[in-house]
Amino acid sequence: MLSHQDNETLVRVGPGTTMGGMMRLYWIPFYAAADLEKDGQPQTVKLLGETLVVFRDSEGNVGLVDHVCPHRGAPLAFGRNEDCGLRCVYHGWKFDVEGNVTDMPAEPVRSRLKERVKLKSYPCVERNGVIWTYMGNEPEESRPPLPNLEWNLVPEENVVVTFRVQECNWLQALEGEIDSAHAPILHGRIDEGGSINQWVAKRDLRPTFECMRQDFGMSIASRRVLDEDTLYWRVNQFVMPFYSLVPPQANEFYELSGHAWVPIDDENTLCIMFSYRPNEPLHPKSRKVFLEGHNGRETGHPSKNGYDDQGALVPYGRYVSKYRRDTGWLFDHELQKTTWFSGLPGLWVQDAACQSGVMRVYDRTLEHLCTSDTGIAMTRRMLLEVAHAFAESGAKPERFSDPDLYMVRAISMKLPKDDAWVDSGKGPMTAKLGEGIGYEL
């Protein structure tokens, strides 16, 4: 349970809030490069409570600008994206990717108004198919470099990255993924089918937890008993400010995976999921299943068939899925009786339905934490400490601008019962670009 005040500190992310201010220290991944064409339709997005429009100009540069025209407020989501700029359809003011006004067709030729008006804009960079922005106050020369997150550094054929909107606060979504106790239960099946029945974690549904604070965030280790001599350790990682990494399952085509839980605003989260093989291309079948679903159900990734475009003005409208609150996440009671423990149609849908719950911003004064919530409690405590230090003295999280701090992997290891996961896992928890996981699953 959290006090109301601590809960508020953690969940509020808009301009002027403590957590929002902390997140603005970091580069933020926010769009799929492939979904933005040169001179294509501008897209409405929202980040940390600010509604914006993203577009790619004729030269391929990406602009992330205010969604409101500074003349008289027309929506720039309807702007004409042509000849290296975005032109408001109301009176034709035109803006470049940096928010400079380059044309005012209805103004006298000699007018100098152009020089005095500026559209809010944030800098963008692209790396391996993902567009990142920086929303902080630092000038270019003192911004941190992009974090070296392995999923965004491996060759594109090694990775699938997908985007979807979830109707809840960022922390609710994050907490769902650092909680390893739910996985064999919520995602379980009551029939004999499917690979989930092969999960090693199913062999012990009562894990115990050990957490270790790290400069990058928190390692959350769950310990399950396999037999008298062997323990199964799954170590999820929370990586500042909003990433989670999930260990591989024991299977020939394992992937490393996880999410960036990017706050759209207090009540919505952009869930960027990545699955990758560190040292070789993804199996074509895995890629297909991630992008298209499996037997009409969703995997951990939102499938192309599940998107339900909400139109030009809804932030991330094209990444909204038909599996959502107002469709009851297409819960199927028949399926619950015959196949899936939850009756919810697919992995991420099961997570999203439970994480989003009945409140977009959960009131954590109502909860009753238990043993398996150790990782969640420790992560909150760490976030509160860091947030308070930042709010009180402007102290930034330790090493936050060191790009290699983020070279981290989640691990799943079967170890003799006397071996410590912190020692045996130390090497494998460090990402080494181009190298495999280095242990038997």
Instruction: Name which of 266, 258, 362, 273 is nearest 319 in CA terms.
Output: 273
Q: By Cβ distance, which residue is nearest to Fe ion?
A: 351
For position 213 contacting ligand FES by CB under 6 A, the verdict is no
88 binds, among Fe ion, ligand FES, none (CB under 5 to 8 A by kind): ligand FES
Q: Strand, coil or helix: what is 239? A: strand
Residue 70: CB minimum distance to ligand FES, A: 8
Q: Do 180 and 220 form a contact (C-beta atoms < 8 A)?
A: yes
Strand pairing category for 243-246 and 256-265: antiparallel
74 binds, among ligand FES, Fe ion, none (CB under 5 to 8 A by kind): ligand FES
C-alpha–C-alpha distance, residues 245 and 241, integer Å = 12
268 vs 299 by CB, closer to Fe ion: 299
Tokens of 430: 């460090």
Q: Do 139 and 151 form a contact (C-beta atoms < 8 A)?
A: no
DSSP state of 419: S
CA torsion sign, 366 to 369 to 373 to 376? Answer: positive
For position 175 contacting Fe ion by CB under 5 A, the verdict is no
Q: Do 438 and 428 form a contact (C-beta atoms < 8 A)?
A: yes
63 vs 188 by CB, closer to Fe ion: 188
Out of 351, 352, 400, 421, the only residue in the binding site for Fe ion (CB under 5 A) is 351
Q: What's the number of CA atoms in the CB half-sphere (13 Å) around residue 111?
A: 13
C-alpha–C-alpha distance, residues 54 and 43, integer Å = 5
- The CA–CA distances, whole Å, from 271 to 53, 184, 248, 370, 391 equal 19, 22, 19, 26, 27
Q: Do 216 and 239 form a contact (C-beta atoms < 8 A)?
A: yes
Identity of the residue numbered 352: A
Out of 72, 304, 399, 426, the only residue in the binding site for ligand FES (CB under 6 A) is 72
Identity of the residue numbered 259: H
Residue 67: CB minimum distance to ligand FES, A: 12
Q: Strand, coil or helix: what is 316? A: coil
69 binds, among Fe ion, ligand FES, none (CB under 5 to 8 A by kind): ligand FES
Part in contact with ligand FES (CB under 6 A); list of ranges 85-93, 287-295, 315-323, 339-347: 85-93
For position 71 contacting ligand FES by CB under 6 A, the verdict is yes
82 vs 280 by CB, closer to ligand FES: 82
Out of 53, 69, 235, 344, the only residue in the binding site for ligand FES (CB under 6 A) is 69
Residue 69: CB minimum distance to ligand FES, A: 3
Tokens of 184: 């064999």
For position 93 contacting ligand FES by CB under 6 A, the verdict is yes
351 binds, among Fe ion, ligand FES, none (CB under 5 to 8 A by kind): Fe ion
For position 74 contacting ligand FES by CB under 6 A, the verdict is yes
Part in contact with Fe ion (CB under 5 A); list of ranges 188-196, 274-282, 345-353, 375-383: 345-353
Part in contact with ligand FES (CB under 6 A); list of ranges 56-64, 88-96, 257-265, 356-364: 88-96
C-alpha–C-alpha distance, residues 240 and 388, integer Å = 15
- Tell me how long the chain is: 441
Part in contact with Fe ion (CB under 5 A); list of ranges 17-25, 79-87, 322-330, 348-356: 348-356
Tokens of 106: 């209805």
91 binds, among Fe ion, ligand FES, none (CB under 5 to 8 A by kind): ligand FES
250 vs 389 by CB, closer to Fe ion: 250
Residue 325: CB minimum distance to Fe ion, A: 18
For position 130 contacting ligand FES by CB under 6 A, the verdict is no
Residue-wise DSSP of 51-115: EEEEEE-TTS-EEEEESB-TTT--BGGG-EE-SSSEE-TTT--EE-TT-BEEE-TTS-TT--HHH
14 vs 92 by CB, closer to ligand FES: 92
For position 298 contacting Fe ion by CB under 5 A, the verdict is no
H/E stretch holding 121 reads: strand 121-122
- Contacting residues toward Fe ion, per CB under 5 A: 351
- Contacting residues toward ligand FES, per CB under 6 A: 69, 71-74, 88, 90-93
